[in-house]
Structure 1
Amino acid sequence: MSKTSKLRMYSRKGGKVLNTPKSTELNIKDMFDMFITDKSIEGLSERTLHDYNIHFSYLLDYLGGSILNIQFNKELFKSYIAYMLHDKGLSPVTANVRIRTIRAFLRYCYLNGYINEPIHEHFKPVKTKEDTLESFTPEEVKRLLSFVDEKSYKGFRDKVIIYLLLDTLVRCSELVGIKRKNIDLKAGFITLESEGTKSKKSRVIPISTKTTKLLKEYVELTDVYGAEFLFLTYEGGLLSDNTVRKNLAELGEIAGVNKRVSPHTFRHTGALFYILNGGDPFSLQKILGHSDMSMVRKYIQMTNTDVKKQHNVFSPLNRVF
């Protein structure tokens, strides 16, 4: 059955086509443009808005084109979820990212009177297995660093990036948004401005002595560019987060590390190492920039070996004997 046929079937099924809303008939593309404008005014990052547009394009592909608000119903969107999971074979995690965008869009449409029914309330993200966030071992981090060509500008910059990702636990978008004026090498802090963070709140993150020393060398090396931002291309332009991801992935292949080598994996790894080294979860929460401790728990997923090592150090019997 074609997508268009599916759409007709779900539009007529059980007489569940919505009545024309009080507002005029609107095209889904026009409504989404208004949604994006609204979210932009709210202050969502450019990357988030870009992701929203990508997720919406997948929905349009499924629909086979554009539809009107009077054709919206819960069966249509539930069928799209089934299509993602069963026809496309997407993982629940991937599908949920797109589902959240759809729900936010439908909620916007309902609150603004473009549709009469709160369709977003009729479906939720699908259940997923317990998250298993992959982390590097100390040996894998050393191996990655050993394959960095420090003699080249790109290689030295990548080494600084790895140190910062692991030491500060910043997100990739936050990393490339670091401004030179917000680096305090004497005190050992970096300030992330509110517009560059996911939570839209400024954050002060500490940096260790080793990272400070390496960062000082990089800052002096790139002073000649007179740039506003810290991480630059060889020509002095702003380094993009996509380039950082690409370079790390290529480094992982060269080093033969059979895990996803990405900024987010370094974030997971840094959080785990922080706890294993004796750090407390509350200071970790502040460094990560999370307002919810449940999110912090997802980052601290220890292997049985990690738990065994911690138990040997902190066993209750050590208090007795």
Structure 2
Amino acid sequence: MKQKRLFYGKTKGKSTVGNRLFIEEEKTQMDHGKTLGGMFETFFRAKGLEGLRPRTLKEHRVTFKYFLSFLEKKYPDIKYADEVTTENIRDYVYYMSKEKNLWDDHPKESCQFKTDKKGLSPFTVNIRLRTLKCFFKISL
């Protein structure tokens, strides 16, 4: 005659703890397939829904294009947002402050003057960093 077990212990049932994904793990698994440009489009739509003014949205797009241009020149292997490191951002700040020619990458060709002046003003560098801070804060 079989006896019923009254105490099952800790191993009763399916083990699901090992199969659980935490929010951070789910987010990295879903978002790693998106490129920086794709992540920016998601960020851009979210900012549009928040009610930012069209000019602010336009400046976010232009500023992010400057950053992508820098990454393509200096770090061509970086394709995803989670691959960007603090060191990459520091290099970008140094580039803007000390190395960048004043009128390079300007959208209007008529504004491209011949000058040897290097480095953007600290005000311009901070404006460009503001967009990146906001983007990486939301995206990662």
Aligned residues: 92
Q: 2:139 maps to what in 1?
A: 109
Q: 2:60 maps to what in 1?
A: 52
CA 1:24–1:99 in 2, change beyond 3 Å: closer, same or farther? Answer: closer
Task: Spell out the pairing of 1:20-31 with structure 2 (5 A cutoff).
Answer: 21-25=28-32, 26-31=34-39
**Structure 1 residue 72, shift from structure 2 partner:** 1.7
Note the alpha carbon deviations across 1:211-263, whole angstroms, 9 max, x for none: xxxxxxxxxxxxxxxxxxxxxxxxxxxxxxxxxxxxxxxxxxxxxxxxxxxxx
Distance in 2 between the 1:54 and 1:24 partners? 23
Local SS of the residue matching 2:29: coil
Task: Spell out the pairing of 1:156-171 with structure 2 (5 A cutoff).
Answer: none
Query: Mind listing any 5+ residue stretches in structure 2 that lack a counterpart?
Result: 1-24, 101-118
Q: 1:12 maps to what in 2?
A: none
**Structure 1 residue 34, shift from structure 2 partner:** 0.3
Distance in 2 between the 1:107 and 1:70 partners? 12
Task: Spell out the pairing of 1:179-218 with structure 2 (5 A cutoff).
Answer: none
The runs of at least 4 consecutive aligned structure 1 residues that moved more than 6 Å come to none
Distance in 2 between the 1:54 and 1:75 partners? 22
TM-score (structure 1 length as normaliser) = 0.27
Q: 2:92 maps to what in 1?
A: 80
Distance in 2 between the 1:77 and 1:34 partners? 21
**Structure 1 residue 79, shift from structure 2 partner:** 1.0
Q: 2:125 maps to what in 1?
A: 95
Counterpart residue identity of residue 45, structure 2: T
**Structure 1 residue 78, shift from structure 2 partner:** 1.3
Local SS of the residue matching 1:23: helix
Counterpart residue identity of residue 22, structure 1: Q
Task: Spell out the pairing of 1:1-321 with structure 2 (5 A cutoff).
Answer: 21-25=28-32, 26-64=34-72, 67-88=79-100, 89-110=119-140
Distance in 1 between the 2:85 and 2:70 partners? 15
Local SS of the residue matching 1:35: helix
Q: 1:121 maps to what in 2?
A: none
CA 1:30–1:40 in 2, change beyond 3 Å: closer, same or farther? Answer: same
**Structure 1 residue 70, shift from structure 2 partner:** 3.5
